Structure 1
Amino acid sequence: MSKPTFRFTHYDLKEQRAGTIIEVTLSAVNNVRLMTPTNFQRFKETLDYKFLGGVAKKSPLKIAIPESGHWHLIVDMEGHHGLAESKVKMIAAPAVQPKQRAS
């Protein structure tokens, strides 16, 4: 099994609710990639994979979890000068408001 040739930092976000905001603080321009466990495995094996995110030119960057489930976040230096220091903070999804009934 081959591995990516560039350095990266991996955050296992575990189970997250749809709408949860992931706030990523970076010390330099890097790539930020949010992916499912299957796509993270493909990333590690240097196969084609899907992700949300891309080049983070400003910090902090906020990404919303698109659907409830297990998620992984990668900060990597592919195409950049070095691996940024990074910090991840979870911001809870907004509570679902009960619908008002017309009287």
Structure 2
Amino acid sequence: MAQTSIPYTHYDLQDIREGVVIEISLSAVANVRLMTHADFDLFRNARQHKFLGGVAKQTPIRLTIPKSAHWHVVIDTEGHAGKVESSIRVVPKPKTKAGPRFTPPSRPSAQR
């Protein structure tokens, strides 16, 4: 099978949960593709594939994982001039104040 001829940067996110936010920073305009493991195999073999993302003109961009699975991010400059440097990170979830889950009702003190 033919391999894709476009140069790209690949990030293997492994198994990642639905709802996790991924932040991608770029040094230039580039294509950003978030895809499942099966679609990444299709991409590598220059076959039609599905992905989330598209042309990123501003940075950083944030993508939310739509379902729990094995995910990949690909950065490429197909259709754009020059090279691009990129970095990726998982955006930490906001911390919530930990308080008591249950507060028992107060009891009136017994008077004699």
What TM-score does the superposition give when structure 1 sets the normalisation length? 0.87
- With over 3 angstroms needed to count, the CA separation of the structure-2 counterparts of 1:40 and 1:34, relative to structure 1, is same
Q: Which residue of 2 aligns with 1:3?
A: 3
Size of the aligned set, in residue pairs, is: 95
Q: Which residue of 1 aligns with 2:40?
A: 40
CA RMSD of aligned residues (A): 1.4
Matched residues, percent identical? 47
Q: For 2:76 and 2:18, locate their aligned partners in 1 and report how far apart those are by CA, in whole Å.
A: 24
Q: Which residue of 2 aligns with 1:21?
A: 21
Distance apart, 1:93 and its partner CA: 5.3
Q: For 2:36 and 2:93, locate their aligned partners in 1 and report how far apart those are by CA, in whole Å.
A: 18
Paired residue type of 1:86: S
For 1:51-78, what per-residue CA distance to the aligned partner results, in whole angstroms no more than 9, with x for missing partners? 0000000000000000011100000011
Q: Which residue of 2 aligns with 1:57?
A: 57
* Runs of 5+ consecutive residues of structure 2 not aligned to the other structure: 96-112
- With over 3 angstroms needed to count, the CA separation of the structure-2 counterparts of 1:83 and 1:3, relative to structure 1, is farther
Q: For 1:35 and 1:65, locate their aligned partners in 2 and report how far apart those are by CA, in whole Å.
A: 9
Q: Is the 8 A contact 1:24 1:62 kept in 2?
A: yes
- With over 3 angstroms needed to count, the CA separation of the structure-2 counterparts of 1:94 and 1:50, relative to structure 1, is farther
What TM-score does the superposition give when structure 2 sets the normalisation length? 0.80
For 1:14-50, what per-residue CA distance to the aligned partner results, in whole angstroms no more than 9, with x for missing partners? 1111110010000000000000011000000111100
Shift >3 Å, 4+ stretches:
92-95
